[in-house]
Amino acid sequence: MVSGESHYFLGQRYRLRVHEQPGRSRVALKGKATLDLFVSPGLTAGQRELVLNKWYRAQLRTLIPSLLEKWQAELGVVLAAWGIKKMKTKWGSCNTEARRVWFNLELAKKPVQCLEYIVVHELTHLLERHHNDRMVALLDRHLPQWRAHRDRLNEMPLAHEDWM
């Protein structure tokens, strides 16, 4: 969490610039290449990461509702609740009985098409609980390019890396 690192947002790589200054912590995108992190002097790397993750969460909270609205109507399903959390091994999860979906916070770093694929995938579980031929057929019918989105999702780095 120092200036010069690379961080991703919606599939785009940004160079992090840390600004230590008194006042409220915040994140701002500057142009197409810079992610500005404004923090109080003396914050640890962990505290800086919390600020960035709070921003990522807020961004997802603005992106996900319209995707859910679109795809619930398209698939003919109704979700009871959804949320965002950090997950180590999954991009999303669906509790079919509670009709609740969780989205991985890391999706904020991926292209919108990848986020949309996860929305469709998890909502499709309300129609088919298992990853079987019926699930694949439903994805093929409603989001024919889902395999390309899945592959792109899994090939891109998750975390920051040094700017080269």
Q: Confidence class of residue 162 from pLDDT cuts 50, 70 and 90?
A: very low
Q: How far apart are CA 23 and CA 40, in angstroms?
A: 6
Task: Say how far residue 42 (Cα) sits from the centre of its chain.
Answer: 29
Question: What is the signed CA dihedral for 87, 93, 99, 100, rounded to 10 degrees?
Answer: 20
Domains of the chain, each with CATH number or no CATH: 5-158 (3.30.2010.10)
Which residues are paired to 26 by β-bridges?
38
pLDDT tens across 73-94, in order? 999 999 999 999 999 999 999 9
| pLDDT at residue 133 is higher than 70 | yes
pLDDT for 138 equals 98
**Is residue 82 a contact partner of residue 102, using CB atoms and an 8 Å limit?**
yes
pLDDT tens across 95-111, in order? 999 999 999 999 999 99
